[in-house]
Amino acid sequence: MNPVRVRFAPSPTGGLHIGGLRTALYNYLLARQTGGTMILRIEDTDQSRFVPGAEQYIQESLAWAGISIDEGPAQGGPFGPYRQSERKEIYNKHIQILLASGNAYYAFDTEEELEQMRDRLKASGATAMQYDHSTRLQMRNSLTLPEDEVNKLVAAGKFVIRMKVEPGQIVVLDDIIRGNVQFDSGQVDDKVLMKSDGMPTYHLANVVDDHLMEITHVIRGEEWLPSAPLHVLLYKAFGWSDTMPRFAHLPLLLKPDGNGKLSKRDADQLGFPIFPLNWVDPRTNDLSAGYRESGYLPEALINFLVFLGWNPGTEQEIFSMKELISVFSMERIGKAGARFDIQKARWFNQQYLKAKTNEEIAEMLLSLLHPKGITCNHERALKIAEALKERITFPQELLSASDFYFKAPEKFDLTVVSKKWNDQAGKVLIDFAESISSISELTKTSAQECFETVCQENGVKPGQVLQLLRIAISGAGAGPDLMLSLEILGGSECAERIRKAVSVFSNS
């Protein structure tokens, strides 16, 4: 068996859709699992849709996600060039092979003539408005025009080249995900292979490139399944059937409610990103948010994406990239569309943040504090990280969650205070403030012991006063480990906050 060679072949027409990143991931996992080769090929033959900066964006997105490329425009390789716009001579050579063998022909029809053809088909009650075996002999092409006229029109350069698809064939595709899929060639139209600008269409370019680059597996989205019979026929026409790659058409990514394919508009309306990184459209200067800038960790996003269509056959949900490479199987990808549950993506991010060390979380915190001009030493940052890391879903939440560690609260949750407050609670808080104010090195343990002692001396249970103490310290009725927060703030600071809060509570 030949070594596995897979390719991710996006078009540089804008930001990389999250579905494209999933396609790249599945290709990458198969390549790494088998010791194969991962190729990036830029399919930029449609120059009218080319967007400057999109190729660099794609490469940066893959690198951020941890999907490394073995061969591509930046890496080079023995099968280059890896941009289709640089392979024009290769396509010209191969289109001539199809013309010479009678598997392709020149078509000279104008847009007006094509529209008239569609009108005739519509009037006759035809279900398919396409240029195919049933209509091509009624059109202006090299199959119907005299040779001298064909030569003149070709010399004038006003033509496209179409695939000549003969009816009466059963085209068989052995899809890794969908099994044996059969198509009637009579339903396949004579697709354009070479456009009037001399550039190939996707159909010609991707078949020629996959063959010449010795691609063994074509893993792509379900939307390309209707094109598969044409591609199989192209392999046959070139005489490459024996080396045709195996196909796997991935299930669609569906809207969160499961109704229809996920689009950028859906994501925008529902408030979550559709691109891996921030994307600024150079044509409009519009900014589309990315997962990276929204606070998603690349390993969390990858873990989320791999489950959109694949399952490991076990209850395990958290997988490192190394583990995914070990257990991934194309055969465990389902046919049904995968519902894009952004809440699950958030959950994955939360789990990966929890698994970070205090050191890593502290570094995130310090990087957020520095631009705000907030000073915090490393030891204190480590303690704040310990207090907060299980309470956040995104790194940027560290800034707001840690605010009370650097600034005494100015507002308090008085709704909760009104339910809990009485003179006895006030005395407990003041006594506690007095007890800790003189403790130079307040710790979580000593704070807890001191609080329990004061409560016991006043004849109340700690639970009766605990939430009031929390509000006095942070302003909120819920938050991170309270005793650890007291340690972080220190006895003197805590005592001052409690006294101020008691004054407010008493007068509210």
Q: What is the pLDDT of residues 171-193, one digit of tens each?
A: 999 999 999 999 999 999 999 99
Is residue 108 within 8 Å of residue 153, measured between CB atoms? yes
Q: Which residue has the higher pLDDT, 127 or 397?
A: 397
Domain range summary for the chain, segments of one domain joined by +: 408-508
Check residue 236 and give its pLDDT.
98
> What local confidence, expressed as pLDDT, does residue 201 receive?
95
Q: Name the 3-class secondary structure at 369.
A: helix
- Is the model's pLDDT at 507 over the cut of 90? no
Among 433, 503, 502, 434, smallest CA distance to 468 is for: 502
Mean pLDDT of the chain: 96
Q: Who contacts 121 (Cβ-Cβ below 8 Å, separation ≥6)? A: 128, 129, 135
Decide if pLDDT at 129 tops 90: no
What's the whole-number mean pLDDT along residues 249-259?
A: 95
Show the tokens assigned to 270.
């529902």
**pLDDT above 70: residue 453:** yes
Contacts of 80 (CB under 8 A, 6+ apart): 71
pTM for the model: 0.93
pLDDT tens-digit readout, 267-326? 999 999 999 999 999 999 999 999 999 999 999 999 999 999 999 999 999 999 999 999
Which one is catalytic: 88, 264, 344, 500?
264
pLDDT at residue 489 tops 80: yes
**505 contacts 421 by C-beta, under 8 angstroms:** yes
Taking the alpha carbons at both ends of the chain, their separation in whole angstroms is 80
Q: What is the C-alpha to C-alpha distance for residues 277 and 58, in angstroms, rounded to an integer?
A: 9
Surface-to-core class of residue 35, CB atoms within 10 Å of its CB (0-12 exposed, 13-18 middle, 19+ buried): exposed
Per-residue model confidence (pLDDT) at position 378: 96
DSSP letter (8 states) at residue 134: T
Q: Does the active-site annotation cover 372?
A: no
Distance between CA 355 and CA 381 in Å, rounded?
A: 17
Distance (Å, whole) CA 311 – CA 309: 7
Strand, helix or coil at 502? helix
Average pLDDT (497-508) is: 93
Give the percent of the chain with pLDDT over 70: 100
Nearest-5° angle of CA 346, CA 352, CA 355? 145
Sequence-distant contacts of 388-394: CB under 8 A, at least 24 apart:
388/361, 388/480, 389/353, 389/354, 389/356, 389/358, 389/361, 390/354, 391/479, 391/480, 392/350, 392/353, 393/295, 393/346, 393/349, 393/350, 393/353, 394/294, 394/295, 394/296, 394/349, 394/353
pLDDT at residue 127, as a whole number: 79
**pLDDT for the residue numbered 292:** 98
Q: Is the pLDDT of residue 1 over 70?
A: no
Q: What is the pLDDT of residue 148?
A: 96
C-alpha dihedral, 494 to 500 to 502 to 506, nearest 10°: -170
508 pLDDT above the threshold of 80: no
- Residue 330: which of 20, 1, 4 has the closest Cα? 4
Give the mean pLDDT of 4-21.
96
Q: What is the pLDDT of residue 480?
A: 97
Is pLDDT of 128 > 90? no
| CATH tag, 408-508 | 1.10.10.350
Contacts of 268 (CB under 8 A, 6+ apart): 274, 288
Return the amino acid letter for 146: P
Average pLDDT estimate for 352-377: 96
